[in-house]
Chain A
Amino acid sequence: MKAISSIRTRILLKLLAAALLIFILVLFSSTHVDFIYTSF
């Protein structure tokens, strides 16, 4: 039971991290990025 709860906590934290990353992307991402290695 303890192990299941720990996995649930981990997943919840990861979902929160995903939401935070999406939030950062929506707020701060550049509209255009040149990927430097595509020219090789």
Chain B
Amino acid sequence: MSIALLSIKYLSFSMMSVLLVSLLAGAFRQFVFLSVNLFFIGWLLGPISALATIAFCLLGFALVRIHLKWPALRLVYTLPVFVALFIYLRNYEILQWIFPPELLSSTLSTIGLSFLFFKIIHVLVDAQSNTLRKLEFLTYLNYCLNFTTFMMGPIMRYQDYFDQWHGHKQAIEPTYEAHLDAVLRILGGMVKAYVLAGWINGLALQADTNVLQLSFTAWLVQMYAFFFYLYLNFSGYVDIVIGIGSLMGIRPPENFNKPFIAQNISDFWLRQHRSLTLWLTDYVFSPAYKRALSSKRLGSHPVLAGNLAIMLTMIVSGIWHGTSINFLFFGLVHGIYLVIYHSWDHFLARRLGRKRLKQLRQHWLARTVGIVITFNAASFAFLFFQLDTAHLLQLFSDLLGS
């Protein structure tokens, strides 16, 4: 990426934006914030990619307006257009197998596009289900291009952004101490991302590591170190943007809550990249599960319906995470984990009863075992996240060969 969050340039830009957005009011504040955001994405992506990103937002807005104007129109007529455009712009690896290179968009920078895509899909679906409340063009554009969350989230909801922007909801208490807390959050995030993550990255698994050449201990150390590195890198960034957003009056949602102490894989996803999990639950899992339950074949098998919806959700999650095949595996592995966990949970609940199962879960031994299994399972799955496709395929072929 071309912008360092610890640079004097980024910090002065952020603090100037905080001042402008906090001091101004009305339509002028909207225009100034839009100028700030446009300047930021131009700086981050370059002019051509920035224009493509703005066009992507405008297409999303047009589709949202269509749904608001014709509420009976089903998403099946608009959503595929948008999804296809996203797949094309993101230049998914699979496209390279189908289309000649001259037809692909490999020269465009796609930083932040996946986050933007999920934000617009959320607005589109909410517009169709009439839960959007009020759509304003400038508010929508600033919501999409908001420089604090543009690059890596957290995925904020339009309604939450709207309420904070219009002062219906306070981002932080209007006290000196709350503002000092926000500054501390920024500094703490910088220490995580620029000091601690840097240290641990030396130990962590790299994209081109040949896992088979490592001893078991070295493999474990690198695998665990990558989990910590990813956490420090991503949550450090989230701390920085939550701090800046809080000072500006548009606080993004929390995204992490100690994922290392998750007691099961479902709990893990509520602690790790939480805004993504909640988005996937609302816009993939719930509709898929409802649809499965209303079908003739699956209606009488709620556990199977739930498991199929989980697998679909985690496949979408995997594909969203990256354009190469290893991310599909990452999603599949987590899908399998969740299916095993939910099936086991269902089995235990039937055998023991919900009340006894709850008591059992509260026992220290069950909690400890849960944490150890979840930590190891999550660390292992990050192998599919970090290793590139070539190294992953090499690993599988070597394992199968031996």
Contacts and interface: CB of A to CB of B under 8 A. Distances in A.
Contacts of B195: 24-25, 28-30
Contacts of B237: 35, 37
Nearest to B233: A36
Nearest to B151: A38
A24 B162 CA distance: 37
Interface string A19-40: 0011011001110111111111
Interface residues of B, number: 33
A40 B114 contact: yes
Contacts, number: 79
Given A29-B198, A33-B193, A7 B151 contact: no
Contacts of A22: 187
A35 B322 contact: no
Given A30-B195, A33-B4, A35-B151, A40 B184 contact: no
Interface class of chain B by DSSP? helix
Contacts of A7: 177
- Which one of B112, B151, B195 has the greatest number of beta carbons of chain A within 10 Å? B195
B181 interface: yes
Interface string B189-223: 01101110110000000000000000000000000
Interface of A: 7, 10-11, 14-15, 17-18, 21-22, 24-25, 28-30, 32-40
19 contacts: A11-B180, A14-B177, A14-B180, A17-B184, A18-B183, A21-B187, A21-B188, A21-B190, A21-B191, A24-B191, A24-B195, A25-B187, A25-B195, A29-B6, A29-B190, A29-B195, A33-B193, A35-B1, A37-B234
Given A18-B183, A24-B195, A35-B1, 6 more contacts: A10-B177, A11-B176, A22-B187, A25-B194, A35-B233, A35-B234
